[in-house]
Every structure is written in C-alpha cells, then in structure tokens.
Structure 1
Amino acid sequence: MTALAVSSVAFASEGGGHALFTAENLKDYGLRIVNFIIFAWLLYKFGGAKVKDFFVGRRDGIKKDLDDLQTRKVEAERKLKEVEAGIANLAQEKKQILDDARAQGESIKSAIIEKAKRDAEALTEQAKRTASNEAQAAVDSIRAEMAEMVVAAAEKIVAEKLSAQDHDKLVDDYLTKVVLN
C-alpha cells in the first residue's frame, strides 16, 4: 500500500497538475506493479534459498564472532589479573632476590675469610719451619767452622809443644793400640 501511495505522488508531480488516476496512468502503474511482483517472485524462487542461507550464515557468523570475542575477553581479563598479581608480587620477589643475594654474598665472604685464615696459618707454619731449618743450618755451619778452628788450633798447639821425639812416641802408642784392638 505504501508503494501505491508513494508512486501516486510521484506520478502526480510528473503530470504537471493533471488528474492523478487516469486510465493510462493506472494501466502503466499496474503493469509496473505486476512486473515488480514477478521480479520479486523470480528472485524468491531462484535466489531465495541462497539469500536466506546468506543471511542465516551471516547471522551464525556474527553470533560465532561474538561468542569468540566473549571468550577472548574472558581470557584477556584472566591474563590481566595474572599480570596484576605478578606486578603486586614484584616487590615481594624483588625483596626475596635481594635477600638471597645478600645471604649468598655473606656466605661467599665467610668462605673467603676462612680460606684466608687457613692460608695465613699455613704460611705462618711454613715460615716457622723455614726459620727453624735455617737456624739449624746456621748452627750446623757454625759448629763445623768451630770444629775446624779447634782442630787448627789443636794442631798449632801440638806442633808447638810436641817435639820430634814426642811425635814418634805418640805414633808408636797409637799404632800399638790399633794393632792390639
């Protein structure tokens, strides 16, 4: 009905103020309506299922997209909460890492100090042994030197006080002791 009313206004403005419904106009108008009905029926008959499938498919696609968007929104909100929780725990994790690093540093420091003490004790002990060995070597060297000096002094004294006759007697006594023993 609306189509008739709109088209009649269009015909009226075309006619230049003449009568709206003349026989010629009505026949032309009727043919156009019949032509439109046939065209609409042909579209429905041959393309109706495809058009219907298109719109149903489009509706299903939009519904699927909306469901997918809802699922992605829920997933994004879950990830956002995880990130927010991670950010909230960041200060705690930072404190834990610093505490762990501090404890590890103290442990390494203790180990280094303990090793340094052991090394110092070992070096002290080695220095004592070295000093003792050097002192003993010095004492032995002094004793050897003293012995040589005593022998030299004894030889000198004996050479000064011993006559040739005393020397021969001493050699004979010594040889007698060696032969008898």
Structure 2
Amino acid sequence: MTCPAYAFASEGGIDAILPKMNEFIPMLVAFIILWIVLAKFGWPVFNGMLEKRENTIREALKKSEEAQIESERVLAEYKQQLADAKAQSTQIIADARAIGEAVKADITAQAQTEASDMIAKAKLAIEAEKKQAIADLQASIADTSVDVASRLIGQDLTEGEHRAIIERYVKEAGSFNGN
C-alpha cells in the first residue's frame, strides 16, 4: 500500500486513475464553465491587482532612485560647503598670521626707532652737559688763575685786563681739551 505500483496492480491497473465516462463529461462541462467564468470575471481582477502591484513597485523604485540622487546631490553640496569652510578658515588663519607678523614688525620697528631717538637725545644731552661742564670749568679756572695772577703781581687788574687774560687763557686751555 505504500507503493503506488501495488495499488494499481491490486485494483485493476490503469482503470483506477482514469475517470468513468459518466463522470467525465459533467466534470468537463463544469471545468469549462468554471474556466469561462474565471476568464471572464476572475482573471481581469487578478490581472488588475498584479498591474496595480507592479505600478506600485515601479513608483517606489522610481522614488527611491530620485531620493538617492537627491541625497547624493545634498552630500556633494555639503562636501563643497565643508571644503569652502576649510579653505575660508585656512585663509582667515593665514591672514591673521600675516597681520600678526606685520604688527610685530611695526612694533619692533617703532621700538627700534624710539630707542634710536632716545639714544640720540641722550647723546645730545650728554654732549650739552659736557660742553656746559667744560665752560663752567673754564670759567672757574679763569677766575682762579686771575686771582692767582693778581696775587702774584700784587695789584688789581682792570676789567678789560681781566677779560684779555681770561680769553687768552681760555684759548690755551681749549687747545689742551682736544675735543
């Protein structure tokens, strides 16, 4: 019974699977009617559902492709904006460094100029004080030498004689100065 060959052999062979003629014709007529009804009413509905599903899938694929293209465009836009921002920040940093270097150079130049001016003013002040000290020293020496000369001579000199002696002495003392 487990093998179909034994089933055919025990019930009379091939007649077991073939329908009987009195059952075959009504089954054939019912099958044809069913087929016509399904072909007339069922198949268009089924075909419409298939076409609707196909259109839905096609539209979803089209929308997904459009979304992918849009996302790639937005990604490219963002990458471009990022690159622009990086370039702009690099330019800002370079400009800031250049400005910093320029300010540093200006400050250094200004400091050097001020230092040179201060040194020049100090030299002028030292030279003026030196000349004043020499003039004071010469006047003091002249007065001292007139006093010594008048004591040595033993007489007072007139104003004109004092001047002549002082001027001669200043000329001689000036030649010793060397400056």
TM-score range with shorter-chain normalisation?
0.3 to 0.5
Which structure's relative contact order is higher, taking Cα pairs within 8 Å and 6+ residues apart? 2
TM-score by length of 1: 0.46
